Copies of this chain bind each other. A is one copy, B any other.
């Protein structure tokens, strides 16, 4: 393992750390900046993902669609404010190609309601592709593969 490999691994850890911190601090307006302009973003169930079904609960094919989703979330009247906390572990890297690098990781999201009740909101696996840009790394593709089919994604923050 060379210094450049090690540096890349740590940079990619930082990408996921920054991504989680953005969502957990409700800085959703910054969320699309983690993606390339022509990114693919998808939230799907493990069942549908294993079956090769292309669509999902949420589907976007550009950064602009992600911005629209944030606007929609902001405009929606959310009855009960919630907090989310991401735990991400087991980041694994494929080999780097001209068009990017495959990365996967396990995630767990804990939701805390206004009254203090905490629950497991989501668990699953990120199946991502990242590309190197001037400012660091961005997601060219992010597939959020949920272990559970039962999720309230309508009002929830991005995952």
Binding site for B on A (CB under 8 A): 1, 3, 6-7, 9-11, 14, 16-18, 20-21, 24, 46, 83, 85-92, 104, 106, 108, 110, 112, 115-120, 123-125, 147-151
Contacts and interface: CB of A to CB of B under 8 A. Distances in A.
How many copies of this chain sit in the oligomeric assembly? 3
A1 B9 contact: no
Contacts of A151: 116
Contacts of A10: 1, 6, 9
Given A1-B7, A10-B9, A112 B123 contact: yes
Contact of A89 (B1, B46, B89, B148): B89
* Residue of A7, A91, A147 most packed against chain B (CB within 10 A): A147
9 contacts: A3-B6, A17-B91, A18-B92, A85-B123, A110-B123, A112-B123, A112-B148, A115-B150, A116-B148
